[in-house]
């Protein structure tokens, strides 16, 4: 994730209409760029085998801990210092500054929040931040960026192991989130579809045809929208649950193409339709 800034800059160059939202993310990537990716410890993923085969994601498993919460807390705090950066919109900065105040000199709270977020325990999280009146969404947003940064070195081996263990759920095998995007990628098995987690950035293979949100495989009720000006991204539609999923079908841009914001123009297109987005909401209906 600490290499996203130049990729984002290139992407924005190709999509100048994304400059406004891109500026915000460039600030965030700038923070991450200051950190060196942690070195992954050797983990025998098989300790998660029973859980993963029973559909329980890694971060929800009690088998072992892979998140370095201490390190993540540092990043989390540093991200909240963006409140003092003039590159972010003032409205956003107002929300961040509340969190920054809450975490200031309270690393334990930062760690607890990160642990709660990683468990997607919304009730606990709400009670933790209640007194500070911090925005739940912004807390969760920054927390996931921090968590994702610390687990990124584990993802290659983890994703390989997950594939070997035939994970076939539509939610993320690492954190349990719904996918926010998808990608068709050439593999030894042809163009395989990978779902992409907007939270922890894990990618996992999923059946090529079928809605990941409701499981619908009736091909008559699954459709696609293609955008002539954005040939590398298509929109997969499910008429059964009326959802849409942005699917990147190009050759790859280093990962920036699966950052949700980088295809917000596709969300804008869908905004006027009956189809809903899952996993994250960029455009409010």
Partner 1 sequence: MLVQKTLRGAILKVSRRGFIKGTVVAGVGLSLSELGVNVPNVYAATKEFKLSNSREYTSICTFCACGCGMVCNVKDNKLINLEGDPDHVVNEGGLCSKGASMSVLPNSTERIQTPLYRAPGSDTWQEITWQDAIDRVANNIKTVRDENWISSEVMGGKTYQVNRCDSMGIIGSAQVNNEECYLMAKMARLMGVAYLEHQARLCHSSTVPALNASFGRGAMTNSWNDLKNAKVILIEGSNAAENHPMSVKWMMRAKEQGATIIHVDPRFTRTSKISDIHAQIRPGTDIAFLGAIINYTLSNNLCDEDFLRTHTNANYLVNKDFAFTEGLFSGFDETTQKYDRATWGYQLDSKGKPKKTNDMTHPDSVLSRLKEHYKRYDFKLASDITGVPVDEIKKIAEVYVGNRPGTIMYALGMTQHTVGVQNIRSFGVLQLLLGNVGKPGSGINALRGEPNVQGSTDFALLFDYLPGYISCPNNNQPDIDTWAKTSGTFRAKFLVNLLKSWFGNNATAANDYLYSLLPKKNADTNYSIYRIFETATEDKMKFLFIMGQNPMVTSPNLNLVHAGLSKVKTLVVSDLFMTETAAFWEKPGVDPKSINTEVIFLPAASFLEKDGTLINSSRMVQWRYGGIKPVGEAKPDLEIIDLIYTKVRELYKDSTDKKDDIFKKAVWKYPKSDMSEFVLKEINGYNLKTGELLNGIGEIQADGTTSTGNWLYAGVFAKGENKSKRKDNKTDPSGLGLYPNFAWTWPGNMRILYNRASCDATGKPYDDKNKLIWWNEASKKWIGYDTPDVPVMTDGPSTPNGQKAFRMNGEGIGRLIASQYKDPDAIAGKFRDASATPADGPIPEFYEPVESPTDNALHPTVASNPCLKYPRIASMQLIGKREDFPYVLCTSSITEHWCGGGVTRNMPWLNELMKETHIEMPLKLAAKLNVKNGDSVKVTSARGEVLVKAMVTERIQTLQINNEEVTVVWMPYNWGFKGLSTAASTNLLTIDAGDPNTWIQETKACLVNVEKA
In contact, 64 and 47? CB cutoff 8 Å: yes
CA triplet 178, 182, 187: central angle to 5 degrees? 125
Rounded to whole angstroms, how far apart are CA atoms 263 and 265? 5
The distance of closest approach from Cβ of residue 39 to partner 1 in the complex, given in angstroms and rounded to an integer, is: 26
Rounded to whole angstroms, how far apart are CA atoms 172 and 207? 14
The distance of closest approach from Cβ of residue 105 to partner 1 in the complex, given in angstroms and rounded to an integer, is: 21
In contact, 258 and 246? CB cutoff 8 Å: no
| Residue 212 token pair | 């990941």
Considering the complex, state which of residue 36 and residue 189 has its C-beta at the smaller distance from partner 1: 189
In contact, 173 and 206? CB cutoff 8 Å: no
The distance of closest approach from Cβ of residue 274 to partner 1 in the complex, given in angstroms and rounded to an integer, is: 14
The distance of closest approach from Cβ of residue 270 to partner 1 in the complex, given in angstroms and rounded to an integer, is: 10
Rounded to whole angstroms, how far apart are CA atoms 45 and 49? 7
Considering the complex, state which of residue 105 and residue 188 has its C-beta at the smaller distance from partner 1: 188
Considering the complex, state which of residue 36 and residue 201 has its C-beta at the smaller distance from partner 1: 201
The distance of closest approach from Cβ of residue 32 to partner 1 in the complex, given in angstroms and rounded to an integer, is: 16
Considering the complex, state which of residue 39 and residue 236 has its C-beta at the smaller distance from partner 1: 236
Considering the complex, state which of residue 39 and residue 82 has its C-beta at the smaller distance from partner 1: 82
Rounded to whole angstroms, how far apart are CA atoms 95 and 83? 8
In this structure, how many other beta carbons lie within 10 angstroms of the beta carbon of residue 44?
A: 10
**Distance of alpha carbon 175 from its chain centroid, rounded?**
10
Rounded to whole angstroms, how far apart are CA atoms 149 and 68? 10
**Distance of alpha carbon 221 from its chain centroid, rounded?**
27
Considering the complex, state which of residue 42 and residue 228 has its C-beta at the smaller distance from partner 1: 228
The distance of closest approach from Cβ of residue 74 to partner 1 in the complex, given in angstroms and rounded to an integer, is: 19
**Distance of alpha carbon 125 from its chain centroid, rounded?**
19
Considering the complex, state which of residue 104 and residue 218 has its C-beta at the smaller distance from partner 1: 218
Considering the complex, state which of residue 137 and residue 250 has its C-beta at the smaller distance from partner 1: 137
The distance of closest approach from Cβ of residue 229 to partner 1 in the complex, given in angstroms and rounded to an integer, is: 5
Tell me which residue has tokens 């931040």: 129
Q: Is 81 exposed, middle or buried (0-12, 13-18, 19+ CB in 10 A)?
A: middle
The distance of closest approach from Cβ of residue 178 to partner 1 in the complex, given in angstroms and rounded to an integer, is: 7
């Amino acid at each position: 994730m600490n290499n996203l800034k130049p990729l984002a800059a290139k992407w924005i160059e190709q999509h100048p209409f994304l400059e406004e939202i891109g500026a915000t993310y460039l600030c965030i990537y700038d923070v991450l760029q200051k950190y060196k990716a942690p070195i992954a410890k050797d983990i025998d993923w098989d300790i998660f085998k029973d859980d993963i085969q029973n559909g329980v994601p890694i971060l929800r498993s009690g088998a072992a801990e892979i998140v370095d919460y201490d390190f993540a807390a540092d990043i989390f705090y540093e991200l909240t210092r963006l409140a003092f950066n003039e590159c972010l919109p003032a409205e956003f900065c107002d929300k961040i500054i509340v969190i920054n105040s809450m975490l200031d000199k309270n690393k334990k709270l930062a760690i607890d929040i990160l642990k709660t977020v990683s468990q997607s325990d919304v009730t606990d999280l709400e009670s933790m931040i209640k007194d500070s009146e911090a925005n739940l969404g912004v807390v969760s947003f920054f927390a996931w960026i921090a968590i994702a940064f610390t687990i990124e070195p584990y993802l290659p081996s983890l994703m390989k192991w997950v594939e070997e263990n035939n994970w076939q759920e539509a939610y993320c095998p690492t954190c349990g989130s719904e996918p926010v995007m998808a990608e068709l990628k050439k593999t030894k098995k042809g163009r395989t579809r990978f779902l992409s987690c907007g939270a922890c950035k894990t990618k996992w293979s999923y059946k090529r045809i079928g809605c990941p949100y409701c499981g619908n495989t009736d091909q008559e009720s699954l459709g696609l929208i293609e955008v002539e000006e954005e040939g590398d991204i298509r929109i997969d539609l499910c008429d059964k649950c009326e959802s849409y999923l942005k699917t990147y079908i190009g050759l790859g841009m280093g990962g920036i193409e699966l950052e949700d914001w980088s295809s917000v123009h596709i969300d804008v297109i869908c905004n006027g339709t009956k189809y809903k987005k899952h996993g994250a909401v960029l455009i409010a209906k």
